[in-house]
Structure 1
Amino acid sequence: MEITPLLEDYIEKNSTEEPTLLKELRRETYLKTTQPHMLSGLLQGRLLSMISKLISPHLIVEIGTFTGYSTLCLAEGLSESGKIITVDNNRETAYIPKKYFLKSEYSQKINFILDDAINVLQEINQEIDMVFLDADKKNYSKYVEIVKPKLRSGGIIIADNILWKGKVVQDFKDKKTESIREFNSFIRSDSSLEVLILPIRDGISIVRKK
């Protein structure tokens, strides 16, 4: 069944509403950034929030902050003493997530780092409960290689843009499409992981470490 704009609108109206702060953030993202489509959006955001609440993580690591919408969604499920480390290297848009993190009830639980993600991941020496990948596609496999030993048994990795506008099943040879194909194959062939791809927005892969 095709998810038409009308059906998507129905789904959103009959799903839990996003918090007011996220509505404000979504609006500002569309007004002040050149690529607002990178925002997770209501449906994906509620999915991230739901999964986070189900596992009540102590430590979430997010690669790719953008304007902070997904960060705040993930933070909704943190345990009482939990925290989220979110990493991005775009200094031009960094003022937006910083502003909204400070306005949120999770401000003391969010560690926003402007740096290269691989550097940050290598320095983490705590057990990770949940990872969200929404950054440069060419490094998805590398990110997983680094975080997997630190991810607890039963921990979750969520990767965005896994269907890449449908290009993964078409005859596209560009580097980003090839990177996504390689990542999907890499995850599927790892016997220590369970994987499920959901056709939500641009495709989301939910990966569980056994």
Structure 2
Amino acid sequence: MLLPELFMLLFWLGVKFTVTTVDMRKKPAELKDLAPGTNPPFLLYNGTLKTDFIKIEEFLEQTLAPPRYPHLSPLNKESFDVGADIFAKFSAFIKNSPNNAVQKKNLLKEFKRLDDFLNSPLPEEIDHHSTETIGTSNRKFLDGNRLTLADCNLLPKLHVIRIASKKYCDFDIPVHFTGVWRYLQNASEREEFKQTCPADIEIEKAYFSVANNRK
């Protein structure tokens, strides 16, 4: 099993890899021996096993580094922070539907935070020698016009939120969040995103049990 976030990251970097589908209800013997009691993803490199998603990300960032690979980290710390809570708010929202007015409000608050950030010019977009004021940013991604690790983390989550929320909660990301929709539109034009996101039906299947065991 390869999380969409890691799948997108490796695809973007141009790393050659093989995806093997595993039925976690019938783990192969090699998986049981490799990491007993642990669910994927995990990474084995030179005999060292990493099972923590954050540690795997850190390893990839250190190993797949310039000049052979593009720089992964965003320049601005907030590019990483801005979407950190949105998936947790979505999880609470979908688990408590239809009596989820509070959770919906919390989710919308996170979307507004993301939208405000995407529409606000980054420091490097501002020409301090110009008398003109940039009102709204037109950048494609969180940290500018290039993908970073922050995008590989957030975009697959936003895709899941959009599909599962629509299917089971009749919730759409509000159209007035123009920055979020611009971001998703730009992502949809990238092969890294299109080729690594799960199909809608797979997301719907994954959240079927959640939707049918709601409070």
Scaled by the length of structure 2, what TM-score is found?
0.32
When you count strand as a share of all residues, which structure comes out higher?
A: 1
Scaled by the length of structure 1, what TM-score is found?
0.32
The structure number with the bigger radius of gyration is 2
